[in-house]
Structure formats: structure tokens, C-alpha cells
A and B are shown apart, each in its own frame.
Chain A
């Protein structure tokens, strides 16, 4: 019961924040709303008993990605984009697609019978995640780290100023 009330509260606040992200004209405000969404999702992870992911969500999304976005917005004044309209010409089409997509997928999800089982989360969940990375999922893990390295180098090369 308490869980349900908490879920509804967090879900509603998070969705309102997400709405703020897509409708806010001021990009900085949109970024702040985005941070609120990340927080709400971290709270949902805690409700789902995935503490490690909740903390990782805050570190990576709020500490790194959101800060990066805010930083990029601050770097270039024109990015604030107040003067021009926030939406392009196809926004009504996008809105229709959104409603259609939401209706279709949620209808399918409600119809779909998932076999849920109620078991406890293992106590050594974090250790299991760790050994998963260097055990069964070692190849994707290495590929992901190479991807990060490539992205790091690429981002630096793209963003630095060329004075030639």
C-alpha cells in the first residue's frame, strides 16, 4: 500500500518533469527538469531494490551527463533559443505519433501476460553484478570501455578550437 502511494507520487512527479523537459522554452530550465527526471528514476530504482543502479544513475546521469548538457548550454548563448520557436513544423504530427505509440504499447503491455515471480533480491547483488562484468559479460564490458574511450577522444577532437 505504502509502496503504491510512493510509486504513484514519484511517477506523477517524474512524468510532469519529463513534460517540462519537452515543453520548456528556456533550455536551461529544460535541463533542470531533466535532472528532476533522473532523480525520480533513481528513486524508482530504489523502490525496485536496485540500490547500486540508483547511485550509479545519480553519479552518471546527474553528475556527468546533465552537468555536461548544462555546461554546453552555458557555453553558447545562442543555444538558449528563446527568439526562435521551440518546435518545428512537424510538431503536431509528432504529438499524434506520441499518443498513438503510447496507446498501442500500453494496450499491448496490459494484454500481455507476464509470469511474475516474487523472490528476494540476493544479498550479494553488487558482488554478482561485479563478477558478471568480468565473467559472463566480459566481452560486452570490454567493448563498452573501448566505446567510451573512442567517444572521449572523439569528443575532444570535435570540440577543441582549431586555429589554422
Chain B
């Protein structure tokens, strides 16, 4: 317990920011998805750190992390299925080329 709580929080913030950058700046949809995964993982680190340092006897923090896992798995499955489906019809998954609704 020698590591201060703020270290974990700053680490999670940095991870979240990197994921955020990835989501906003990458052109490839799979890379965007990876950025989202980074952000979800940062949230998980925060949840577990808060659980360990603020309420170690109440396991709710860990239970929430499992819910995040579930959502992440569902998101990855549907997201990748969408990409494969789009790739089949458009032969690209670059986000800025998939802009049919703009025209």
C-alpha cells in the first residue's frame, strides 16, 4: 500500500487521454476501436484503484469492472462485425471515406 492513490489516477488519466487521441485522430476504424478499448481499460484501473483505497471491504468496485468487461466484449464483437460487413461492400474501413450520409 505504499503507492499513493493519485499515481493510479494519473496513470489512468494518461491512458484515457492516449485512447482519446487514438479515437479522434486515427483514420482506420479498427484503430479507433482500439482507442475505445484503451479508454475502457483506463476506467477499469480507476474503478479498481478507488475500490482498493476508498472501500476495500465492499466489493462493488470490482463488480462494476466486470460490467465494463461485458460491455467491452459486446462492443468489440458488434464493432468488428460492422467493420467486416462494411469492408465487404466498400473495400475500405477508413472512417473519412465512409461518408455516404453526408452527400
Q: Looking across the interface, which residue of chain A has its beta carbon closest to that of B38?
A: A18
Residues A50-98 near B (CB distance < 8 A): 50, 52-53, 56-57, 60-61, 64-65, 68-69, 72-73, 75-76, 78-79, 81, 84-91, 93-95, 97-98
Give min CB distance, A29 to chain B, whole Å: 11
Cβ contact within 8 Å between A41 and B78: no
Chain B residues in 8 Å Cβ range of A30: 31, 34
Asked if A158 meets B81 with Cβ closer than 8 Å, knowing A85-B27, A97-B24, A129-B62, the reply is yes
Asked if A34 meets B85 with Cβ closer than 8 Å, knowing A68-B77, A88-B95, A155-B80, the reply is no
Residues of B in contact with A, size category:
35 or more
Chain A residues in 8 Å Cβ range of B21: 22, 94-95, 97-98
| B residues at A contact (CB < 8 Å) | 1-3, 5-11, 13-22, 24-28, 30-31, 33-35, 37-38, 41, 44-45, 48-49, 51-57, 59-60, 62-63, 65-67, 69-78, 80-85, 87-88, 91-96
